A = this chain, B = another copy of it.
Amino acid sequence: MSSSVPSASDSPVIATARRARAAAADLAPLPRTARDAALQAVSDALLARSAEVVKANAEDVARARANGTPDAIVDRLTLTEERIAAIAADVRDVIALPDPVGEVVRGSTLPNGLELRQVRVPLGVVGIIYEARPNVTVDAAALCLKSGNAVLLRGSSSAYASNTALVEVLRDAVAGAGLPADAVQLVPGESRDSVRELMTARGLVDVLIPRGGASLIQTVVNESTVPVIETGTGNCHVYVDAAADPELAVEILVNSKAQRPSVCNAAETVLVHEAVAERFLPRALAALTEAGVTVHGDAAWQRAGEAAGVPVPAATDEDWAVEYLSYDIAAAVVPDLDAAVAHIRRWTSGHTEAIVTADTAAARRFVSRMDSAAVMVNASTRFTDGGQFGFGAEIGISTQKLHARGPMGLPELTSTTYVVTGDGHTRG
């Protein structure tokens, strides 16, 4: 099932994937100017046709309200003229980014005179499975177009009308700019079966990127035979070393936990060296409590809570394991740095860990013993982000080790190919 040649037995999802494969073949050789022109057309069309998108979105919003969907989720689902203008502006920002396609990653002239170049090329067909955020529809399509990939969009059924309208606008704009409309397609069907078909379309889809909650990501990782890039789960730790300045450590901790607790780079556990515990725990408890955070602590933290008159529920293994995504944090005192390392290696999801220390040797030891996508030294865990890292765009944050780790920008949406040029070279 690796061909773009249609077959009579194709289901709607497979037929869509085959069209994407054919579009990808047409996209791959296009120069940057052609892809950028299509993105400009997309940005213009979003502005020109925002009214019809808002109208379609209103159907989804009304249905969500009727179903009793929580306000926060309805808000994420809602599109307004202003929000669409902001999305269109994001597309123009993508145009300005460097072209990842065609970059020569390495090259040399071999002893026999063969010229070897390793060149970035599009992955081909990228599938994105995501939740009820219609802005992702445009963001993902723009990043895929920029990197020369065809995209298959599988959003939440609760945003189906919005996504259908958006994709119609995108396809018209892409086709108007002379690119294949099938570079951007919605995966047909609102049922789980269509997701399952997408996950097993090995040979037609080059990579699947799930964006959303932990259960969505786990399902895709476990059931997909198409290669997956695992994103987003963040059980992040802050370790306050013996040599930490307590004030600085409190600032970093509170920022890591409470600046935006619902995101994957928020801290979920704090570990404190016992040498600094006496000075640190009371300040940390006060600051966390003021920020509205509940501490789930070990015996030392519970004693500190008792002394401060702050309730500190006992932390269990579940607290060490969980990604709260809320105003909660697990907390323990450890005898030394190595104990912190051991705790983190045992419980981390491999996203981001931070150490707060004035001791360079401690920082080096900690960094070299972590097994995560990002390690912060004297900085908040919240900085693990494509925008913060200066990548200009982000398709997700990978917590796997293969292909891409950490924030993924445009280069992570490419593969490479070796181009070898000779003048009749044969092997002896």
Contacts and interface: CB of A to CB of B under 8 A. Distances in A.
A316 interface: no
A289 interface: no
B227 A225 contact: no
Copies in the complex: 2
Interface in A187-222: 206-207, 221-222
A394 to B, nearest CB: 13
B405 A415 contact: yes
A426 B384 contact: no
A346 B424 contact: no
A388 B29 CA distance: 28
A110 interface: yes
- Does more than half of chain A's interface fall in helix, strand or loop, or is it mixed? mixed
A362 interface: no
A406 interface: yes
Interface string A218-243: 00011001010100000000000000
A261 interface: no
Size category of the binding interface on chain A: 35 or more
Interface string A6-31: 00000000000000000001001100
Contact of A369 (B25, B380, B382): B25
Given A207-B402, A401-B207, A418 B374 contact: yes
A108 B390 contact: yes
A243 to B, nearest CB: 14
Contacts of A108: 390
Given A378-B424, A424-B378, A389 B371 contact: no
Contacts of A416: 405-406
Contact of A373 (B114, B389, B406, B418): B418
B426 A255 contact: yes
A375 interface: yes
B401 A251 contact: no
B379 A418 contact: no
A286 interface: no
A275 to B, nearest CB: 20
B418 A375 contact: yes
Given A3-B346, A29-B369, A206-B401, 9 more contacts: A29-B365, A229-B402, A367-B419, A373-B417, A375-B419, A375-B420, A377-B422, A382-B426, A405-B418
